[in-house]
Amino acid sequence: MTDEKPWYGSRTILANAIGGITALLAIFGLDLSPEAQTQVATLVMLLTNLVNIGLRFVTTKPIKRDKGGTVNSHWIVVALLVLLAACDSRIAPVTTTTTDGTPQQVIFAAHADYLALLTAANAYVSLPRCADDATLSDRACSRPRVVKIIRAADNDAFIVLRSAQDVARDEAPDKGTVQRWADRARSAIGVLRAILTNHNLIEGAAS
């Protein structure tokens, strides 16, 4: 028995590797929070162990080895690092709602943010449905209960945004009224954003 472990058994190395990969992915618009990177590192270790166990059952001939382990293991880990980093790339923070500009511009910006949230929600809702108590990752299937919550939150947000838009498009809106609706529009999408964040579908960030 030895205390030595292959490189992919080190959470520190994995975390640094994922940090590097995510920095590379960020160039292409895929951002991972430090918390998510830690989760990916843990997941890679877990999956690597599972894959190695699986290979033990299907392998009948010895393969070329180096100091760290099998050649296959190295490639599997590298592939998992890249794929999981991309897979776990929660949608970048949808938190650009502006408070600057006229209330009409703020309401328009809230609509744009709402559209971005809808796109993130659609990615989840379009996944195959699984049971509400399923243990699969949130990214592998969508839970009916969560879909229902998202749709209800969307209905609420949509009603508020359309009302705000009606006021904003008025020929001569009352200044105070349109400002109040701008605030309501921001709050409405804040609720939808919070629901998506709580279910880990987008990154949480201060708005």
Q: Which residues bind other proteins (CB under 8 A)?
A: 28-31, 51, 54, 58, 80, 83-84, 86-89, 91-92, 94, 96, 98, 100-102, 104-105, 108-109, 111-116, 118-123, 125-126, 139-140, 150-151, 154, 158, 165, 168-169
What is the spatial distance between Cα 157 and Cα 192, in angstroms, rounded to a whole number?
Answer: 7
Q: Which residues pair with 91 in a beta bridge?
A: 202
Could you tell me how far CA 73 lies from the centroid of its own chain? Answer: 28
Nearer to other proteins among residue 5 and residue 24 (C-beta): 24
Minimum distance from residue 8 beta carbon to other proteins (Å): 17
Minimum distance from residue 58 beta carbon to other proteins (Å): 6
Q: Which long-range contacts (CB under 8 A, 24 or more apart) does 27-30 make?
A: 29/92, 30/85, 30/86, 30/89, 30/92
Nearer to other proteins among residue 67 and residue 193 (C-beta): 193
Which of 32, 10, 7 lies closest to 21 in space, CA to CA? 32
Minimum distance from residue 65 beta carbon to other proteins (Å): 21
Minimum distance from residue 101 beta carbon to other proteins (Å): 5
Nearer to other proteins among residue 5 and residue 137 (C-beta): 137
Minimum distance from residue 173 beta carbon to other proteins (Å): 10
Cβ neighbors of 156 (< 8 A, separation 6 or more) are 188, 191, 192
Nearer to other proteins among residue 1 and residue 27 (C-beta): 27
Q: What is the CA angle 197-199-200, rounded to 5?
A: 60
**Under 8 Å between Cβ of 41 and 64:** no
